[in-house]
């Protein structure tokens, strides 16, 4: 499970993390920040360290009291101030940056995987037996199956059929945009209206064409599967 970042944490979650911090630094309960002070601390942490996680907040203070890195002032003096908080977290940030700068990044070695025709044929045959695939679950059809079918001669479309499938793909793409915009969310509506305008003017963007092309490729695979199912 991914650790929650400070910017996404609730006041209650931040308060729980700070309670643990107060304990390990030796801050006595009657010196804990009051509710108003706590809200100021929460908001300051969110605005200044939004990408840090809740776990890192505790870790920073834990490492500080262990002497893992140097801080200007470690003793809390019965008052947990924003200045004290900043001193610890900035020292932690410097410590993390120093560690990262010493790590040599080596990109993973890409191993070329060779898939022979027998394997491609086997994959195609498995998909030809599928009876659960429809336009509603195209996501279940991987694009490499289209490439394999083209290579092995399974996809042989007339120009008319290509145009039919491409129009179907475009309609499906627009249908997805309409579904996303059904709750009248502003960005979804803007995206939908932009596409409709582009489609009407025959000026669809290259990025959108690529998405429609992928839908067309999956529809082409589905077309072959459905024809196979009707003849067997």
Report how far apart, in Å, the C-alpha atoms of 40 and of each of 2, 90, 114, 134 are.
26, 18, 59, 54
Query: Which of 102, 130, 145 lies at the terminal end of a domain, its last residue?
Result: 102
Both 174 and 219 in a single domain? yes
Kindly state whether residue 110 falls inside one of the protein's structural domains. no
Both 227 and 122 in a single domain? yes
- Judge whether 108 and 129 are in contact, CB under 8 Å: no
Kindly state whether residue 108 falls inside one of the protein's structural domains. no
Kindly state whether residue 42 falls inside one of the protein's structural domains. yes
Kindly state whether residue 107 falls inside one of the protein's structural domains. no
Both 58 and 135 in a single domain? no
Is pTM beyond 0.85 here?
no
What sections of the chain are H helices per DSSP?
A: 11-25, 35-48, 54-65, 82-102, 117-128, 143-151, 159-180, 186-200, 206-231
Both 68 and 130 in a single domain? no
| pLDDT in the model for residue 113 | 64
Query: Which of 52, 68, 102 lies at the terminal end of a domain, its last residue?
Result: 102
| pLDDT in the model for residue 139 | 82
| Dist. CA 61–CA 89, nearest whole Å | 8
Of the candidates 73, 77, 81, the one whose C-alpha atom is nearest the C-alpha of residue 18 is: 81
Kindly state whether residue 111 falls inside one of the protein's structural domains. no
Report how far apart, in Å, the C-alpha atoms of 36 and of each of 8, 13, 30, 44 are.
20, 16, 15, 13
> H/E element holding 15?
helix 11-25
Both 95 and 126 in a single domain? no
Both 163 and 212 in a single domain? yes
- Judge whether 212 and 137 are in contact, CB under 8 Å: no
Per-residue pLDDT of the chain (232 residues; tens, 9 = 90+): 467 899 999 999 999 999 999 999 989 888 999 988 999 999 999 988 888 999 999 999 999 999 998 888 778 788 899 989 999 998 998 888 888 777 666 677 666 667 788 889 988 998 898 888 888 888 888 888 999 999 999 999 999 999 999 999 999 999 999 988 888 888 889 999 999 999 998 888 998 999 999 999 999 999 999 998 887 6
Both 227 and 140 in a single domain? yes
| pLDDT in the model for residue 111 | 66
Both 122 and 225 in a single domain? yes
| pLDDT in the model for residue 60 | 93
| Dist. CA 146–CA 169, nearest whole Å | 15
Query: Which of 52, 71, 102 lies at the terminal end of a domain, its last residue?
Result: 102
Q: Domain residues for 155?
A: 117-231
Task: For residue 58, give the DSSP letter.
Answer: H
| pLDDT in the model for residue 138 | 87
Tokens of 16: 């729980």
DSSP reduced 3-state for 214 = helix
Kindly state whether residue 1 falls inside one of the protein's structural domains. no
Both 125 and 195 in a single domain? yes
Kindly state whether residue 109 falls inside one of the protein's structural domains. no
**Count of domains for the chain:** 2
Both 128 and 92 in a single domain? no
Residues in CB range of 203: below 8 A, 6 or more apart: none
Kindly state whether residue 112 falls inside one of the protein's structural domains. no
| pLDDT in the model for residue 102 | 77
Both 121 and 86 in a single domain? no
Both 58 and 158 in a single domain? no
- pLDDT (tens digit per residue) in 48-94: 888 899 999 999 999 999 999 888 877 878 889 998 999 999 899 88
């Amino acid at each position: 499970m991914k650790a929650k970042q400070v910017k996404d944490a609730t006041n209650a979650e931040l308060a729980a993390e700070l309670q643990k911090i107060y304990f390990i630094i030796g801050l006595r309960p009657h010196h804990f920040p009051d509710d108003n002070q706590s809200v100021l601390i929460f908001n300051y942490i969110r605005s200044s360290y939004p990408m840090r996680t809740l776990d890192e907040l505790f870790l920073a203070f834990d490492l500080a009291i262990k002497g893992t890195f140097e801080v200007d002032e470690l003793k809390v003096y019965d008052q947990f101030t924003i200045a004290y908080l900043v001193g610890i977290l900035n020292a932690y940030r410097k410590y993390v940056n120093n560690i990262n700068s010493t790590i040599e990044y080596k990109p993973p070695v890409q191993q070329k995987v060779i898939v022979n025709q027998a394997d491609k044929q086997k994959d195609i045959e498995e998909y030809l037996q599928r009876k659960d695939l429809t336009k509603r679950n195209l996501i279940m059809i991987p694009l490499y199956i289209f490439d394999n079918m083209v290579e092995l001669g399974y996809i042989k479309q007339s120009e008319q059929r290509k145009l039919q499938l491409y129009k179907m793909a475009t309609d499906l793409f627009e249908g997805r945009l309409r579904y996303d915009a059904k709750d009248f969310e502003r960005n979804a509506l803007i995206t939908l209206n932009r596409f409709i305008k582009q489609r009407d003017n025959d000026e669809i963007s290259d990025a959108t064409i690529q998405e429609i092309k992928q839908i067309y490729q999956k529809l082409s695979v589905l077309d072959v599967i459905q024809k196979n199912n009707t003849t067997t």
